Amino acid sequence: MTNMIDVEIQYRLKFETFFHFGSGDGGLACDSGILRGNNRSYFQIPASSLKGMIADQCRTLGRIYQGFGLCKNAQDKKPGGRCSQQKTPCIFCQIFYEGFRFTSMQAPLKNTVVRAYVKINPASGTAEEKKLMFEEMIPPDYDNQDTLTIEGALPSTSADLAMTLLLGGLYLLNNAGARKSKQGAVRCQIQKINYSNETLTSAEVWQNRWLNVESWKKIEGMKEQAHG
Ligand SMILES: [Zn+2]
């Protein structure tokens, strides 16, 4: 029987440019339904989108640093491909497929904007037919007032490495989607970490505790490569 460590991370997001959650290519469709969800008249950031964004960053970290021990499926982004052969799933699958709860803000977002744009065919330089798109977006400088949380329990043997992965993923979220389109720049601020019986409120403390390890040096190196 393994000892489990309870983990709760509270963080806030600040959007610095127009930000859109969703596929980004809806053809003729207005995709605000993704954001409004079923029977909701207001706009809300889906927890599943946040979870997906963090997971993507963690997959990248897992590819860069094999020490995280991510299964091949997690590294390769195989749809639905959680590790099933092993008795104990890898850290990624424990966090993203088992029991961890990602809670989105409860408050409705106000002042969202709908933007329309056309897709330009690079060969002809003209607008492509049937490619007028509408997206509901979070405007720049939107600072959400609610706290988002990630909660779960990890075996004590792998809890430290899992925290490094999770915090690394959140750290890299800072530039999610910002490279290609100059859209989607977001700042993630970790406010409080409840870890077992401890409450950590200082960034310095959690950085020294979980990120000041060999894996983190590689993460920093990777971040420079990717965004430098
Ligand atoms: Zn796995």
Residue 77 domain-assigned? yes
- Looking at the chain, how many residues does it have? 228
Residue 30 domain-assigned? no
| All residues with CB under 5 Å from ion ligand 1 | 71, 74, 83, 90, 93
Q: State the distance from the centre of ligand 1 to the C-alpha of 43, rounded, in angstroms.
A: 33
Residue 177 domain-assigned? yes
Q: What is the pLDDT of residues 89-116, one digit of tens each?
A: 899 999 998 878 988 765 666 667 777 7
Q: What is the pLDDT along the chain (228 residues), one digit of tens a residue?
A: 568 889 999 888 777 777 666 544 443 344 444 444 444 455 566 778 788 888 988 998 888 888 899 998 898 876 667 786 667 889 999 999 887 898 876 566 666 777 777 778 888 888 777 676 666 677 777 666 557 789 999 888 888 889 999 998 888 876 554 444 445 567 788 889 999 989 999 888 888 888 766 666 666 776 666 554
pTM, full prediction:
0.75
pLDDT of residue 179: 44
Residue 125, C-beta contacts closer than 8 angstroms, at least 6 positions apart: none
Q: State the distance from the centre of ligand 1 to the C-alpha of 56, rounded, in angstroms.
A: 13
Q: State the distance from the centre of ligand 1 to the C-alpha of 214, rounded, in angstroms.
A: 22
- Residue 54: which domain range? 4-19+45-110+139-227
Residue 158 domain-assigned? yes
Residue 116 domain-assigned? no
Task: Give the Cα separation of 56 and 108 in Å (integer).
Answer: 26
Residue 24 domain-assigned? no
Q: How many domains does the chain divide into?
A: 1
Q: State the distance from the centre of ligand 1 to the C-alpha of 114, rounded, in angstroms.
A: 38
Give yes or no for a contact between 137 and 115, defined as CB atoms under 8 angstroms apart.
yes
Structure token pair of residue 15: 């959007």
Q: State the distance from the centre of ligand 1 to the C-alpha of 179, rounded, in angstroms.
A: 28
Residue 37 domain-assigned? no
Q: State the distance from the centre of ligand 1 to the C-alpha of 224, rounded, in angstroms.
A: 27
Q: DSSP per residue over 130-148, as a string?
A: EEEEEEEEBPTTEE--S-E
Residue 28 domain-assigned? no
Where are the strands (E) in 16-105, listed by range? Answer: 101-103
How many CB atoms are closer than 10 A to CB 64?
A: 19
